Amino acid sequence: MGNLTGMAVRRQDVLAWMEELQRVYAENRDRLTELDSAIGDADHGTNMDRGFSALKTELAANVPADIRAVLQTVATVLIRTVGGAAGPLYGTFFLRASAACAGKPQLEDAEIVTMFRAGVDGLQARGKAVAGDKTMLDVLLPAMSAMGEKLEQGGTLAEILAAGAAAAEKGMLDTIPMQARKGRASYLGPRSIGHQDPGATSAWLLLKAAAATLVSSPNWT
Amino acid sequence: MIGLVIVSHSARLAEGVCELAEQVAQGRVRLAAAGGAADPEHPIGTDAFKVQQAIESVYSEDGVLVLTDLGSAVLSAETALEFLEEDKRGHVKLCSAPLVEGAVAAASQAAAGASMEEILREVEAALAVARPVAAESSQERLVTLTNALGLHARPAAKLIRIARRFQALVTIENVTHAAGPFEATGINGILSLGARQGHRLRIRADGPDARQALAELAVFIEGGCGDQDQPPEQPEQPGKPVPQASGELSGIAASAGVAIGPLVRLRPAEVPRDARVVDDPDAEWRRLLAAIHGAREETRTLYEWARTHAGADEAGIFDAQLLFLEDPKLLDRASRIVLGERANAEFAWHEATGEIAAGYLQARAADVTDVVDRVLRRLTGVAATSANLHGILTAHDLTPSEMAQLGPVLGLCLESGSASAHSVILARAIGIPVVAGLGPAISAVAEGTIVALDGERGTVRISPDAAQVKALEARRKQWLASRRTAEAARHRPASTRDGRPIRVLANISGVAEAAEAVDYGADGVGVLRTEFLFLGRTAAPGEEEQVAAYRAIAQSLGGRPLIIRTLDAGGDKSLPYVEIGEEANPFLGWRGIRVTLGRRDLFRTQIRAVLRTGAGQSVGLLLPMVTVLDELRETKALIQDVEAELDREGAAFLRDIQVGVMIEVPAAVAIAGELAREASFFSIGSNDLIQYCMAADRTNPRVASLADGLQPAVLRMIRQAVEAARAAGIEVTLCGELAADTLATPLLIGLGMDEFSVSAALIPQLKQAIGRWSVAEAEAIAREALAMDSSGAVRKLLGSAAR
């Protein structure tokens, strides 16, 4: 055994995150679809579940070589299978996140935050939504702020991700009184008020699962 | 080749849209459908990889345009770009235009050879059509109508033009009169507000730029609707200037000949509009739309004419007529009658316009009748002229179709026009004497008054006495006899009295005219105006169609030379598929070779067709509006390119075709030496050369006398061009109205013309005129004329030489 050089997220942690996501989206499938049926086209839960089930099959068949390749596979599978807006949006999130991991066998705390930020930036550029449009960004943007803040304060990865998940949950609830200005729900205009946004909900689940799985393990070299 | 990718949530929809686009793409656009998600269990959705593959399948550096349906299709398409190679990405454009309108617009543009940039612009326009009104802001405002005449047709037209500039949906309600609200998109709605001075109007605007729209409309309405004629309009004075009972009016000698008879006036024809049931309502509806489209073009021409000659304010009435023809309510009503009731187009148009116009357009009934009839005339082919008029016809001006319908009239007195107006050219061709540019004085002469018209001197004598009648009748007999002799001798080649051969060719614009030209004795075709193939249709003619037409003409000519002039669009000839845009000055704008060099797709097709027609035939190419040397060079380079292409294809074609330039711009005269060294021949287009040289519009009676081919400035330009041609050893043809003026024939021979090209019907007289002169006489006349200081002096010289 070598020396302990620090703490880092490794490939198997990311794979665990994906496994957790598969479980979480399967479990929340009906709930997400129900939320979507109020203000959308009632397929978000089915779509997410389908995407992550397909991902599970894919990862069982081939395990990609590093974190970047894992995230790339996630992106590809989601884009191909999720359908609706969520496919390209989450696909872009993971694609940009994977790019941020290029050449890194493992990720330090700060690099995890960078990875999330790259993903969220990509997703925002793709969806062109801003805070307050009643979208997944109303979850992801406050989560990024909270994670960034916690990192500045010298928090551990667990603390950073927990802060992100907590901010995400608050952001998700904040979407309830909002009027949708993007996506299918925006067609409803004022009638979208009073409903929790399904995309915001799936985004919260994504961060919650990250907090539960992405732990820094001791890093031996 | 530009590629087009259709992204839809539904595979069937994407394929259907491709099918639709394919219809206009004519195989010149690569199309790919990327519809549906990858999961067969859940086929509705989009798949970025499918989109990426579709892009790759149609990719070239010309670019790929991706059109998408609902929101997430855009996301997938954008995501697809991430998977493309960096250098390809720049050539792929996403467009948020409505899928169907956008795809068809893009395919038709791409098929017409438009660049990606042009396509995007066009597709954006499709977007504007289908874009729903963003409900971001809704505003309203009450204003008071201040102008004395109220919201009549002209201010209503202006108001609509303002409202249409905004995305916001604008409605207007007359609060005082409790009328409306009506959308400010149709003129009939606005007119039916019955808004008069002092009425309160509520303007409402919904949409992103509502505030700005309201502000501009309020300023317009409260500022008097841009009306300058603030006092109520005076009714037309019933008694115009006292009719002249006798005396002589003088105008322009437009068509030779003498005629004596009673004066008759042009009366509008009865247009049949009986109802009948049609078998194919769709075809009937298209027929009506085509007629409305034609009437719009005609009205637009009138608008332009009026704007140039009488100012924008006066032209406003034509703008109002245009809006009437574009009124969605009217079109909707008419379509219901045709498609719903299976009625014929004439009846539907009459009914729909009657319903829409009833009540509120009384004040402007004549204007509405005018525009309604304009459509009906197109439907029925009945011109405004009744064909059984005898005597001497007087009119403001005649349209070519009215001329063509003329009955046995003896002569024509025109208030407007000049020697080179289209109506006059036709009159000359059918041998009717014309005096043009007489002004309003002729309309004051009572119908039935005997008048004697002298088309050689340009005079009209009112109530001539017995001696005058006798003298004129003698001249008329002489004129008729000379015409008969000319007819008899028309098939002999023309030459001067001392034997120098001068070819007389025909200007034609159609396949049937070729045989007619031969019948009139033409030695060939000096100018085939190819516009006849391009006008009145929505897409440019293809290569095969052009080859077929040119070949048919060449065959009718039986080996006689055929000079094909390349498309001369622009100026007064606009084509729906060549976006020329609003030009303040179309005759100084994008026209002639400027257009074809800018639209290489059209040019290349035409050149290919001409070269292929030339195989085994005597065919030459003529370029209109050449102004700089580069235009000739670029065209020759393109011809070389086409030759190489045809070689590769192994097609039969005419190699090293003769390429002539039209000399019709003073700039071309100034560089005639350089042009002559690189061109195979010159063809002097006198009509345009005169108007550009003299800066005078021949249709404007106030300056028509300046637009005279006998002006010393014009003669010197012709001389200069001929000298340059001589120095380079190439031949010169004169085409245009000057060539047809037999008074000028000796002068033109003396200036060194090798050929004339004129309307076919004028060939016999021209051949006869050529035979009257020897070269030496003609050269002496030319020398003397070139030294003169006015067109009047030249005309006098020619007149005395002729006697």
CATH number at residue A68: 1.25.40.340
Beta bridge partners of B205: B139, B170
In a domain, A220, yes or no: no
In a domain, A1, yes or no: no
Q: Are B379 and B287 in contact (CB under 8 A)?
A: yes
Chain A nearest CA to B622, separation (Å) = 54
Which helix (H) or strand (E) element contains residue A161? helix A157-174
Q: Which residue has the tokens 């035939």?
A: B617
In a domain, A219, yes or no: no
Chain A nearest CA to B171, separation (Å) = 23
The helix-helix angle for B365-380 and B345-357 (nearest 10°) equals: 170
Q: B148 — contact with chain A (CB < 8 Å)?
A: no
Exposed, middle or buried, B370 (CB in 10 Å: 0-12/13-18/19+)? middle
Coil, strand or helix at B459: strand
Q: B76 — contact with chain A (CB < 8 Å)?
A: yes
Q: From CA B327, how far away is CA B196, in angstroms rounded?
A: 22
Q: Which two tokens stand for residue A120?
A: 């969220």
Q: Which two tokens stand for residue B297?
A: 């073009």
Residues in chain A: 221
Considering only CB atoms, B79 lies closest to which of A43, A50, A126, namely A126
Judge: A50–B39 Cβ closer than 8 Å, yes or no.
yes
Q: B713 — contact with chain A (CB < 8 Å)?
A: no
Considering only CB atoms, A81 lies closest to which of B38, B76, B78, namely B38
Q: From CA B173, how far away is CA B151, in angstroms rounded?
A: 12
Q: How far is CA A185 from CA A129, A182, B712, in A?
A: 13, 7, 76
Judge: B75–A81 Cβ closer than 8 Å, yes or no.
no
| Domains of chain A: total | 1
Chain B nearest CA to A81, separation (Å) = 6
Q: Is B95 a catalytic residue?
A: no
Judge: B75–A85 Cβ closer than 8 Å, yes or no.
yes
Mutate to test the interface with B, among A39, A49, A76, A79 (most CBs of B within 10 A): A79
Q: What is the predicted pLDDT for the residue at B363? A: 43
Q: Are B698 and B690 in contact (CB under 8 A)?
A: yes
Tell me which amino acid residue B559 is: G
Strands B3-8 and B247-250 come out as unpaired
Q: B39 — contact with chain A (CB < 8 Å)?
A: yes
The helix-helix angle for A44-61 and A86-100 (nearest 10°) equals: 40
Judge: A88–B42 Cβ closer than 8 Å, yes or no.
no
* Chain A residue numbers touching B48 (CB-CB < 8 A): 79-80, 87-88, 91
Judge: B82–A50 Cβ closer than 8 Å, yes or no.
no
What Rg do the C-alpha atoms of chain B give, in angstroms?
30
Can you list the residues of chain A whose pLDDT is less than 50?
1-3, 221
- CA dihedral B742→B744→B745→B747, nearest 10 degrees, is 170
Q: From CA B206, how far away is CA B225, in angstroms rounded?
A: 22
pTM, 2 dp: 0.44
| B534 contact partners, CB below 8 Å, separation of at least 6 | B540, B541, B567, B569, B575
Q: What is the predicted pLDDT for the residue at B678? A: 97
Residue B350 half-sphere exposure, CB side, CA atoms within 13 Å? 16
Q: What is the predicted pLDDT for the residue at B64? A: 92
Judge: A91–B39 Cβ closer than 8 Å, yes or no.
no
Q: Which two tokens stand for residue B387?
A: 């064909």
Nearest chain B residue to A89 by CA: give it: B75
Q: Which residue has the tokens 């995501």?
A: B79
| B46 contact partners, CB below 8 Å, separation of at least 6 | A83, A87, A88, B7, B8, B9, B34, B35, B36, B37, B68, B72, B73, B75, B76, B77
* Chain B residue numbers touching A184 (CB-CB < 8 A): 70-71
Q: What is the predicted pLDDT for the residue at B404? A: 54
Exposed, middle or buried, A119 (CB in 10 Å: 0-12/13-18/19+)? buried
Three-class SS of A168-217: HHHHHHHCCCCCCCCCHHHHHHHHHCCCCCHHHHHHHHHHHHHHHHCCCE
In a domain, A62, yes or no: yes
Q: How many CB atoms lie within 10 A of CB A15?
A: 17
Q: B78 — contact with chain A (CB < 8 Å)?
A: yes
Q: How far is CA B646 from CA B8, B27, B656, B658, in A?
A: 40, 19, 13, 17
Q: From CA B760, how far away is CA B522, in angstroms rounded?
A: 7
Judge: A92–B46 Cβ closer than 8 Å, yes or no.
no
DSSP B744: G
Strands B450-454 and B459-462 come out as antiparallel
For the sheet with B258-265, list strands across it.
Answer: B247-250, B459-462, B450-454, B258-265, B391-395, B409-414, B434-436, B252-255
Q: What is the predicted pLDDT for the residue at B702? A: 76
Three-class SS of B252-274: EEEECCEEEEEEEECCCCCCCCC
Mutate to test the interface with A, among B72, B81, B86, B133 (most CBs of A within 10 A): B72
Considering only CB atoms, A88 lies closest to which of B44, B48, B135, namely B48
Judge: B78–A80 Cβ closer than 8 Å, yes or no.
no
Q: From CA B768, how far away is CA B770, in angstroms rounded?
A: 5
Q: From CA B131, how far away is CA B119, in angstroms rounded?
A: 18
Mutate to test the interface with A, among B8, B51, B79 (most CBs of A within 10 A): B79
In a domain, A4, yes or no: no
Chain B nearest CA to A153, separation (Å) = 35
In a domain, A109, yes or no: yes
* Chain A residue numbers touching B78 (CB-CB < 8 A): 88, 126
In a domain, A151, yes or no: yes
| Catalytic residue of the set B293, B309, B422, B491 | B422
Positions of E strands within B625-704: 658-663, 681-685
Q: From CA B174, how far away is CA A66, in angstroms rounded?
A: 72
Q: From CA A135, how far away is CA B757, in angstroms rounded?
A: 74
Q: Which of residues 54-73 of B touch A (CB under 8 A)?
A: 70-72
In a domain, A218, yes or no: no
Q: B134 — contact with chain A (CB < 8 Å)?
A: no
Q: Are B395 and B266 in contact (CB under 8 A)?
A: yes
Coil, strand or helix at B541: coil
Q: From CA B146, how far away is CA B225, in angstroms rounded?
A: 8
* Chain A residue numbers touching B47 (CB-CB < 8 A): 79-80, 83, 87
CA-nearest of B16, B76, B12 to B44 is B12
Q: Could you tell me if the ipTM is greater than 0.85?
A: no
Coil, strand or helix at B146: coil
Judge: A50–B135 Cβ closer than 8 Å, yes or no.
no
Q: Are B94 and B66 in contact (CB under 8 A)?
A: yes
Nearest chain B residue to A99 by CA: give it: B82
* Chain B residue numbers touching A95 (CB-CB < 8 A): 79, 82
Judge: B72–A84 Cβ closer than 8 Å, yes or no.
yes
Judge: B72–A91 Cβ closer than 8 Å, yes or no.
no
Chain A nearest CA to B345, separation (Å) = 41
Q: Is B413 a catalytic residue?
A: no
Q: Which two tokens stand for residue B365?
A: 């009934």
List residues of A whose CB lies inside 8 A of any B CB.
Answer: 43, 46-47, 50, 76, 79-81, 83-89, 91-92, 95, 126-127, 182-184, 189
Concatenating the DSSP letter of every residue in B366-426 gives: HHHHHHHHHHHHHHH---SS-TT--EEEEES---HHHHHH--SEEEEEESS--TTSHHHHH
Q: Are A165 and A20 in contact (CB under 8 A)?
A: no
* Chain B residue numbers touching A182 (CB-CB < 8 A): 71
Q: From CA A113, how far away is CA A144, in angstroms rounded?
A: 8
| Residue range of the domain that includes A100 | 9-213
Q: Average pLDDT per run of 10 along chain B, which is 803 residues long?
A: 90 90 82 85 82 91 87 81 84 84 83 81 64 55 79 78 81 82 78 80 84 84 69 35 58 84 72 77 86 82 60 65 80 85 87 68 56 79 58 75 66 73 66 82 79 87 87 85 82 92 92 86 95 81 91 92 94 78 85 94 96 93 97 97 95 95 97 97 95 86 83 96 96 92 94 93 89 95 95 90 81
Q: What percent of chain A has pLDDT over 90?
A: 57
- State chain A's maximal CA–CA distance in angstroms: 62
B121-B125-B129 Cα angle (round to 5):
165
Judge: B72–A126 Cβ closer than 8 Å, yes or no.
no
Q: B46 — contact with chain A (CB < 8 Å)?
A: yes
Chain B nearest CA to A156, separation (Å) = 34
Q: Are B46 and B126 in contact (CB under 8 A)?
A: no
